[in-house]
Amino acid sequence: MRSVRVTGAATTQIPAADGGPPVGLSRNRNYQLIWFAGAISGLGDIVFTTATVLWVGAIIAKGQTWAPLAVSGVLFAVMIPVVVLGPLGGVYADRWNRRRTMLVTDLLRALVIGALILVPTVGDGLSIGAKLGLIYAAVAAESAVAQFFRPARFGLFGTLVADPDRERAGSIAQGTDATTGIIGPPLAAPLLISTAYGIQTALAVNAISFLVSFAAVLSVRVPEAPAEAAGEREKRTVWQDMRTGLRFVRGSRTMRVIFAAVVMVTFGAGAVNVLDLFFVTTNLHLKASYYGLLDAAIGIGTVAGSIAFAVIGNRIPAHRAFSVGLLLAGVFVACYSRSTALWVALIVLFVLGFPLAAVNSMVGPMVFREVPRELLGRVLGLLNPVQQIAQAASILISTWLASTVLRNLDGHVLGLHFGPIDTIFFGGGVLIALVGAWAIGAMGRAVPAAAPDAGGTEPTPDVEAPAERVPEVKIPVQPTVDIIEGARTVEPPPTDR
């Protein structure tokens, strides 16, 4: 999530100053490189995640009673590094050269995934436990390295994108993520099941995507920063830097609103993500195979919404699109909970994609206007773990309610039937809508401020050496911190890129 500088009117447009990025995405070569890198690597990540889950659940643990537990191990291997290393990665993303950090982490992740190819290739003699252990270790290692890549990319984005272009860049990034989310899983499943070397191919696709990302980032140029910046940073401890980030979040009304909104909305949407398959079979009375169709409906709606916001650009203030988008998303989630026919559910989910696109696209511009450049990595490093914890809590509580307290619920209110799953969904929708209504008022009372820079106190670390400045750009693939991703997938996430 990102912080907003709430103006209550139109988004402030700041012309490019001397040494700043130019206004206009189409003229920015850096933007085009980063967008391409993010699109390709994001697709590779989705192929990898889908293939790994299928590899563990449908091949290694096929027919075993413990197969669901084995699959959950993959998800926990991704989640644990986010919670444990996220804040530390944010600190170092602010202390190190961000472009160089991205390059090194891309190579490390390509190496980790490339090494995993050896398991299906020459690991026939390994026990099931050994195979699972190697897979979990590789997934956790990749996720751990990503905790340094993501905040570095987020911070670099803040220096390469001119303020007037941030809403449009965020919309393009969200649309790209939604598109890869639609085409990635259908691409991964045939790769894994239909070819003799399916898992090797899927792993190779992801490893190559990291190398493509590396090549694109290598071509990006950022302005040189004053030499004394690194020395000043070295005088502080990691804990001091982390406390600086915490103090900023506590002291910023806008950041407090964003953090609270992310936690509550992630909590409300998490129930939909984990129980939606049961809603399809129980409430819609459909076969489980229709789950993918409904997922595609919200993905297409999110892509359409992202295109619409990319065209609108910054005509709607980011904080307003974010707050109203939350309110409308909650209303449509509540409406979805009342669906009893396939065509109604498809329409509601498609329309839901529009406010979702607004919410996920606008967080970045808000954060970039609220947070000084030298703190961007730390803020993202704090937000990601908080969101993961909220998601885990939502999954645990919602599944517990559906399995125990609400399992036999069968009631009617005002002529509407309420069962266990739809009641949980309805509650989640109401919670999201209430958060949106609260955010509308809270954001409107936030104190506007001019787009921050290092404020002369600490130059940004995104520097490279060349004296000649290359026109920089707005990165279309800004690290989106999705509150509600693809309607049913509360991120996150992304691995990322």
Q: Using one digit for the tens of pLDDT, what is the confidence trace for 207-256? A: 998 999 999 989 888 765 543 355 555 567 778 888 888 888 888 888 88
Asked whether residue 244 is domain-assigned, the answer is: yes
pLDDT of residue 331: 94
Q: How many Cα atoms sit within 13 Å of 274 on the Cβ side? A: 23
Which domain does 127 fall in, by range?
25-445
Q: Using one digit for the tens of pLDDT, what is the confidence trace for 438-449? A: 999 887 665 444
d(CA 42, CA 175): 12
One-letter amino acid for residue 229 of the chain: A
d(CA 210, CA 113): 9
Residues 6+ apart with CB under 8 A from 335: 348, 429
Asked whether residue 394 is domain-assigned, the answer is: yes
Q: Which residue has the tokens 């290393």?
A: 85
pLDDT of residue 231: 52
The percentage of the chain sitting over the pLDDT mark of 70, rounded to a whole number, equals 78
Phi-psi map region of 65: left, alpha, beta (phi>0 left; psi -120 to 50 alpha): alpha
**Total count of domains within the chain:** 1
Report the candidate in 462, 283, 495 with the shortest Cα–Cα distance to residue 388: 495
Report the candidate in 159, 118, 154, 148 with the shortest Cα–Cα distance to residue 135: 118
- Number of residues written out for the chain: 497
What sections of 96-227 are H helices per DSSP? 98-116, 118-122, 128-160, 166-194, 198-218
- Please determine, for residue 450, whether its predicted confidence score (pLDDT) is greater than 60: no
**For residues 416, 422, 428 and 431, what is the CA-based torsion angle, rounded to 10 degrees?**
10
Mean pLDDT computed over 146-167? 79
Query: Residue 370 is inside which H or E element, if any?
Result: helix 342-370
pLDDT band at 332 (very low <50, low <70, confident <90, very high): very high
Q: Using one digit for the tens of pLDDT, what is the confidence trace for 38-91? A: 788 778 777 788 788 878 887 888 878 788 778 878 888 888 898 888 888 888
Most confident of 98-112, 263-277, 280-294: 98-112
Asked whether residue 462 is domain-assigned, the answer is: no
Asked whether residue 86 is domain-assigned, the answer is: yes
Asked whether residue 58 is domain-assigned, the answer is: yes
d(CA 388, CA 257): 18
Mean pLDDT computed over 177-188? 73
pLDDT of residue 262: 85
Query: Residue 40 is inside which H or E element, if any?
Result: helix 29-54
One-letter amino acid for residue 440 of the chain: I
Token representation of residue 314: 């910054």
Please state, in angstroms and as integers, the Cα–Cα distance from residue 325 to each residue in 9, 66, 221, 227, 239, following that order: 17, 40, 35, 43, 36
CATH number at residue 208: 1.20.1250.20
Asked whether residue 485 is domain-assigned, the answer is: no
pLDDT of residue 448: 43
Q: Using one digit for the tens of pLDDT, what is the confidence trace for 194-206? A: 555 778 888 888 8
Cut 0.85: pTM above it: no
Residues 6+ apart with CB under 8 A from 78: 49, 139, 140, 143, 495
- Average per-residue pLDDT for the chain: 76
Asked whether residue 130 is domain-assigned, the answer is: yes
Q: Is there a contact between 477 and 43 (Cβ–Cβ < 8 Å)?
A: no
Mean pLDDT computed over 327-337? 93
Asked whether residue 344 is domain-assigned, the answer is: yes
- Please determine, for residue 494, whether its predicted confidence score (pLDDT) is greater than 70: no
Token representation of residue 386: 């908080």
- Please determine, for residue 22, whether its predicted confidence score (pLDDT) is greater than 90: no
Q: Using one digit for the tens of pLDDT, what is the confidence trace for 350-390? A: 999 898 888 887 887 888 888 887 888 888 888 888 888 88
Token representation of residue 252: 């910023």
